[in-house]
Amino acid sequence: MVNEVIDPDRKTWDEAQLRTLVSNIDCDAILSIPVAMKKGSDTLVWHYDSKGYYSVKSGYQEAVQQAHIRSNLPGSFTDWSAKEWKFVWSLNLPPKLKHFVGRMYHNVLAIKKNLWRRRCAHSVVCPICLAEVETVEHLLFGYEWAKMVWFGSGVGFRCADHDLGSIRSCFGQLIASIGSACEDRKTLCSMVWVAWCIWKARNAYIFNHILVDLIMVIATAKREEAEFLVACAEASTSTETLAETQCPRPHRVPLPSGLWKLNCDSATDLSRGRGVVVVLLRDDKGNLVDGIAASIRMTTALQGEATAVRLVCFMARALHCATVEVESDCKTLIQQCVSEGVPLWEICAVLNDIRFMASSGGLVFKWSPRIQNRAAHWVALACLREALPVDWVSQPLVALVG
């Protein structure tokens, strides 16, 4: 039984006993699961759904994903890792070009080979050269005119100098090698614009019978990229100006006399499965009275934020505070704390504890922007980096004052 590996007094996992029952990998995963302080009944959770409920829709989606992973079929984005998706969506490109990158990578563009495989075309032969099978690789790098477009586009890419292989391996290598270098990312964006214009030129020839003009394709790629960058710069400038004129710098709102404020935050290092939760106690004048910084195991950032709010509730109860304002910069969590709906399954145990303690009254939950919660955020990051002074409460630094 699960309760046999939980310490009933400390309400934590019995790590020593767990190590004797499961592997170290499974043990680390179990230790990252929060344990509820309030005793409750066990529930079944479908962890592919945010609320933990099974539905035909979520079951079908998971079945399709597993089928594509096992058979390595094209036509699904599920085998693209979150890291690769995050990288692509961080590029300075219009959404339609980001989707175009994904469709190229997963070989789902409406080219002859894919249409023939889906029985939407009678032949796989390229409609332009009438000699080779039209694949994504042939579309982008096989045409002689496409090779000349790449050569004349200014991105410094010569098709003849590279063993390109499949588009999947080509883009995978590009994403892995580029990293965060600004110039490399700009070059990749320019390459995507060139690929997009090659694709449009191909479609214009097939559907509108417009002959391919190399100079026009190169000029269109450069012009559309330049127009997009100018539009982005203008939008950024107008947003900053509007923010400066309409959004004054946040300032501390004085609390009613006798009201305590508890700010909390967390910092995570998900690569190690660990994080830090922080609670700052301030009086009605904004002075730092007490604080806690503790290391915990976690698998998601939301777990860390929820554990921090639960720690706030425990601290308020221990100090016998009559009225406490609980501030967090995690809007999703604050909404869950004041809601009576079904909690997200990954923080279900922690959230049930929070709601139970809040039911007795005296706790007011409030969301605040990160800039207003910067003191707690600074302590969490400093503790995570092991740079937090021992006497940070009794001798608060400038970042914690005011």
% of the chain residues with pLDDT over 90: 16
Alpha-carbon distances, residue 165 vs 102, 171, 188 (angstroms): 17, 10, 18
CB 146 within 8 A of CB 140: yes
Q: What is the pLDDT of residue 373?
A: 85
Region of 201 (left: φ > 0; alpha: ψ -120 to 50; beta: rest) is alpha
Under DSSP, is residue 286 helix (H, G, I), strand (E, B) or coil?
A: coil
Question: Would you call 297 helix, strand, or coil by DSSP?
Answer: strand
Pull the structure tokens for residue 146: 């496409």
Q: Which residues contact 328 (CB under 8 A, 6 or more apart)?
A: 263, 264, 265, 305, 308, 309, 334, 365, 366, 367, 368, 373
Strand order, beta sheet including 363-367: 288-297, 274-282, 260-269, 324-328, 363-367
Delimit the domains of the chain by residue range. 2-31, 82-244, 260-400
| pLDDT surpasses 70 at 355 | yes
d(CA 301, CA 266): 8
CATH topology of domain 260-400: Nucleotidyltransferase; domain 5 (3.30.420)
So what's the pLDDT on residue 78?
44
**Rounded-to-5 percentages of helix, strand, coil across the chain:** 50, 10, 35
Residue-level pLDDT at 82: 58
Distance CA 284, CA 261 (A): 7
Q: How far apart are CA 261 and CA 268, in angstroms?
A: 24
Read off the pLDDT of residues 322-351 as tens digits, 9 standing for 90 and up. Answer: 788 888 889 988 988 888 777 787 888 888
Q: Of the ranges 137-141, 159-163, 198-202, 215-219, which one carries the lowest mean pLDDT score?
A: 159-163
Lowest mean pLDDT among 60-64, 90-94, 236-240: 236-240
Averaged pLDDT, 39-53 = 76
Kindly report the pTM of this predicted structure. Answer: 0.55
| Residue 218 CA, distance from chain mean position | 35
Which of 13-22, 30-39, 130-139, 214-223 is predicted with the least confidence, judged by mean pLDDT? 30-39
Q: How far apart are CA 199 and CA 224, in angstroms?
A: 14
Longest Cα–Cα distance of the chain, Å, equals: 83
pLDDT at 83: 64
Contact of 301 with 265, CB cutoff 8 Å: no
Most confident segment among 58-62, 258-262, 306-310, 368-372: 306-310
Asked if pLDDT for residue 180 goes beyond 60, the answer is no
What pLDDT does 115 receive? 92
The values of phi and psi at residue 196, to 5°, are: -65, -40
Q: Answer with the residue of higher pLDDT: 273 or 159.
A: 273
Degrees, nearest 5: CA angle 208-106-130 = 40
Q: According to the model, what pLDDT value does residue 170 have? A: 66
141: which 2 tokens?
């790098």
- Give the confidence band of 139 by pLDDT, cuts at 50, 70, 90: confident
Greatest mean pLDDT range, 157-161, 162-166, 174-178, 304-308:
304-308
CB atoms within 10 A of CB 70: 8
Looking at residue 102, what is its pLDDT? 84
Q: What is the pLDDT of residues 210-261, one digit of tens each?
A: 998 989 999 999 999 999 998 888 887 765 555 555 544 445 555 556 678 8
pLDDT of residue 74: 46
The rounded mean pLDDT for the chain is: 81
pLDDT category, 181, cuts 50, 70, 90?
low
For strands 260-269 and 324-328, give the pairing. parallel
CB 263 within 8 A of CB 373: yes
Q: Under a CB-based contact definition with an 8 Å cutoff, are residues 14 and 6 in contact? A: yes
**Mean pLDDT calculated for residue range 190-199:** 92
* Rounded to 5°, angle at Cα 284 from 283 and 285: 90
Amino acid 75: pLDDT: 42
